[in-house]
Structure 1
Amino acid sequence: MESIPRPCFETLQEFSLLDPETLDGELSVIQRFLNRCPTSSLPTKSYLLVKQFLIKHAEPTRYSNYRSCIERLLLWSILEAKKTITDLNEGDIQEFMSFCTSPPDSWVADKCCRRFTPGKLKQAIGFNPAWRPFRFDQPSIGEDGTRIAYIAGRGALAMQMSVVAAFFLHLHYCALIATNPARRLHAAGFYAISLPVHTGANVFTDEEFAVLMLTLSDMADKEIKYERTLLMIASVYYLRLQPSEVDSLGGDLTISALRLMRDGTYDLVEEKFPGNHSWKIHSEFIDHYVNRFRKKFGRQCIPLERDHTLLLGKIRGKDSISSAHARLLFRKVCQVVIDTLTESGCVVSPDSVFCKASLLWLRETSMHHSARTMGMDDVIRLVRKSNAESAYQRFFARRG
């Protein structure tokens, strides 16, 4: 069983001559390597998919960088994850990027070297035993004579994530995978060179909101007490709650109030909630957040309409949280985002949204997203506490 990572692709000149659909014309040493890899990862299938992607980028200015990045993913998938590359999920991509940040010594070369040993015939060409997927750009031995740990630079990780995202986007467009496992991570910008500076509006950009929710999901995965915080923030966003509504409606907002509508959205159908059919809640809220919470706390067997768990409940006790408590929890999550980005080498600007956002930004971001996909009448209905003229004007502001 092969465990040492080996080079899978030749120079651009030789690679351009290959058939992307088969192994015809491949070096014998590469074919033998694939045959020795774990069979559960279907190495040949993964290899051909990567080759078909790489052939689209077979030009002098791009090939070398794309080859290095996508080859690492291929080797990690078949040797470490032992999965077909099309079976990798979002968690796998996170694990792979962590692997790239500080790979084991067995994956790191001391210096740049040739991939293959020369031979007069293709059958005689072999692997250079010194080659590895990662390499030091400076001496790997410190002044005290010990080997230095390899730590990837910010730019290298940004390039790696960009190529991985492009590869899975290619698979998704070719209908080879149902969902793109790298989409959210790439959009979140964790591996970008720096965090984008906020434009000034009281809304999160798509990337900023993805960072917020991804960070909070990770917090909940590590400590179950944050499942409550995740459900609370998701509720404020998807229900478009104003801070005052957290206080006035929090004690009545239960999971049982959610009802599936004919158009696939959900609504709060209890009489105590203002504005019949004025909530228009995306099914993503139920699928990704409510059901996640119910599963974590063993309530998935209870029908939705009979689950009287509070959406804004406290971690301890039966009451709902106040808007002040919600603000405190929200700011705590923003601080964790800042700390996480800083620790990973990202530059967090003083103008970053995470330094100055308030709880109200969740509602404004949700209204902004709604205005991009819904008609004016539906969006105005969602505003609730506003006169028609103000709602009309704000619709076009949010749509822009």
Structure 2
Amino acid sequence: MRRILQVAAVTGLLGLALGVPADADSRSRDISRDTLAADDGWAAADGGTTGGAAADDAHVFTVTSRAELVRALDGGSATPKIIKVAGTIDANTDDDGRHLDCDDYATGGYTLKKYLTAYDPRTWGSARPSGAQEEARQASAAAQASRVEFLVGPNTTIVGLGSGAVLKGASLQVKNADNVIVRNLDLRDAYDCFPLWQPNTGGLGDWKTSYDTLWLNGATHVWVDHITASDQDHPDAKEPTYFARNYLRHDGLLDITGGSDLVTVSWSRFADHDKAMLIGNSDSATGDRGKLRVTLHHNEFESVVQRAPRVRFGQVHVYNNRYVVPEDSEYRYSLGVSTESGIHAENNAFTAPGHVEVADLVKSWNGTALHQTGTLFNGFPVDLLAIHNAYNSGSERDLTADVGWTPSLHGKIDSARRADHDVERGAGAGRIP
């Protein structure tokens, strides 16, 4: 059934790969029953991805509030469903639609001032936080999680209507679910009110946050298309420093973990964020072997500090993406090559200021291989692999070009120069042609 729906939708999807901004007529087109094209990345494998295209009329919802979104999701049920988001939905609201801020969630006597006093490393030491203030933080965090975490079940399509569909403060979570489509949504500012202090992280300690804007965990056959994901008005770079560490409020923009598999991310924009995309969350998660097969194509990563993506175990096809590092912005790397990863990178374009060098674009941790061709850096062709091996810090091993696989599921792969142009014009929410 899924393959039949897929073939039936191919004609309507032929214009998708053009990446041209939508005009008024196409914005009014009903995209809610679109399915993934037959060759569009890993999510097209093994029967393809149709989301909620088979939903009956009783399970097609237009939602304009948090309460309506919760009812439509139906607790993550497997019933085929289409959820159309209209306007802006604020996850941080109560049942009457009143906005909630961090003070509204705080309970058990929690305050940031008391928390900082209780776990100051100069007096607390390096032990994991425990006791009254940590218990109060956990209770407060649970109160916020109950409002901002949304479980997406199998056979679901969530799609934004028009060019102004926004989910604000939400963490969409696809857990152990198959056949999901998320399209044409502006996902912004999954803001954690109650970060955890971890004294032993990274040697100096660090703040840990809880919410990915979109999290795939044990998810299969997922198509993410024409979304915009960002921290919007609350960039972590503007947060204060506590215990000599930036007080982070955001986790990933799109993390793909827990044995997720057969995922295509296309024509999306990831912006104004530190750690954008993690594929595989642990070197010890050996159950991820043979999974985490992901295609990333025609996406824009702008003002992203790192993880675009960072990969463990997975076979990841990264082609025709656009990377932009603005002047005076923090930057660490784009492609992270980690344990047993197989990144096949083709025809990607990078634009960066003078403080960023080609050798900065790739970083490896226990990785052994990276296949790359057709890369442009500030308009000039470069060999990421050769430059990484020639200029790595000595703490990183040389990488080989043999990643052990060759992509077969993909559309036309354009030159990096053409992709740079098309992605700038066509990626992100509100731009489906």
Q: Which has the larger radius of gyration?
A: 1
Give the TM-score normalised by the residue count of structure 2.
0.26
Give the TM-score normalised by the residue count of structure 1.
0.28
Question: Which structure shows the higher strand fraction?
Answer: 2
